[in-house]
Amino acid sequence: MNTGKASLLILYTGGTIGMVQDSSTGALKPFRFDNILEEVPELKKFGYNLSSYAFDPPIDSSDMKPEVWIKMAEIIESNYDKFDGFIILHGTDTMAYSASALSFMLENLQKPVIFTGSQLPLGSLRTDAKENLISSIEIAAAVKNGKPVVPEVGIFFENRLYRGNRTSKNNTEDFNAFISGNYPALAESGVHIRFNDNALLNPSENPPLIVHKNLDTRLAVLKLFPGLNRHVAEAVLKAEGLRALIIETFGAGNAPNEPWFISCMKEAVDRGIIVVNITQCRIGHVAMGTYETSRNLANAGVIGGSDMTLEAAVTKLMFLLGTYDKKNTIEALITKSIRGEITD
């Protein structure tokens, strides 16, 4: 696998991975990414041309929002022709949302955009930060037959590269923090990095990058649970300006068969609200109509989200709502895989 003298841009948005311990106070502080070769001298052996851009101040991933995704996309857009790939260092809590969002915002992407982070700071003795950073850089630099091996948005964590919009954070304790329940890993890191060519996107054409910057956040998520109060559900649907609702249902897309709930969904659809059904399960997909409860939802006009993650469904809806005005266009696209987020 040829990596040559790749030129890569590292974006530090915030998160644990970019922290080192102050030698005098013992407190954690962000390290200077323009000195990244001093902090991680192992990178010198690659011989890559590494540049960096650090958000100032760093953003805790719990404070992540669409405005920051737009800034990330704009940085990639303005540097797209200068670099062979991009590594985005990010806090783990909302990384899957950010990776999903970027996947939809960067249409015709032909270069790697690899998100990574860590559970322990770079300066800790037992840190996972160095391995995640080093492997992400090597993956972003990988070329085969003159083309990037990974022409898509991915998340690398604990020896595995996942498609960004297929990933969810699954663990706060282990180094293996993420799961891609419905799609195989794009690559695995061992003695060598083994790429799963059959799982990777393989664009046949080379159209120009299109960066979408209009994201509409007028949506809500309603997680179902036994005993869900009717007034709560109705209050969510009556939110001013609401254009779309994601319902997190049980199992293969099942919901209470209570007449009030089905009526509530139908009334929302009739008012022009797009209602998408996503399963609470990390593995599996919504199969509308398999059981009577989901059949009633389908009859009410609720759309099945197949095996999309919640993170992908949220950010895809933001993208579609910000890009298209017609409800039927958005409804058609929500069920179609546009960036590999749904299994065909």
Residues taking part in catalysis = 16
* 94-105: burial string, b at 16+ Cβ within 10 Å, e else: bbbbbbbbbbbb
What gap in Å lies between CA 94 and CA 117, rounded to an integer? Answer: 11
Q: What strands, in cross-sheet order, belong to the sheet with 187-189?
A: 49-54, 7-12, 85-89, 113-116, 153-157, 160-163, 187-189, 193-195
What are the structure tokens assigned to 86, written together?
Answer: 């991009």
What are the structure tokens assigned to 176, written together?
Answer: 């293996």
> Widest CA span of the chain, in angstroms?
65
Find out whether 12 and 53 touch, Cβ atoms under 8 Å.
Answer: yes
What gap in Å lies between CA 119 and CA 17, rounded to an integer? Answer: 7
CA distances from 232 to 242, 245, 270, 302, 341 (A): 15, 14, 19, 19, 30
What gap in Å lies between CA 188 and CA 185, rounded to an integer? Answer: 7
Alpha helix segments (H runs only) across the chain: 36-39, 66-79, 95-105, 129-141, 230-237, 259-270, 292-299, 310-323, 327-334
What gap in Å lies between CA 257 and CA 57, rounded to an integer? Answer: 49
User: If you write DSSP's letter for every residue of 268-293 in order, what string do you get?
Assistant: HHHTT-EEEEEES-SSS---TTSSHH
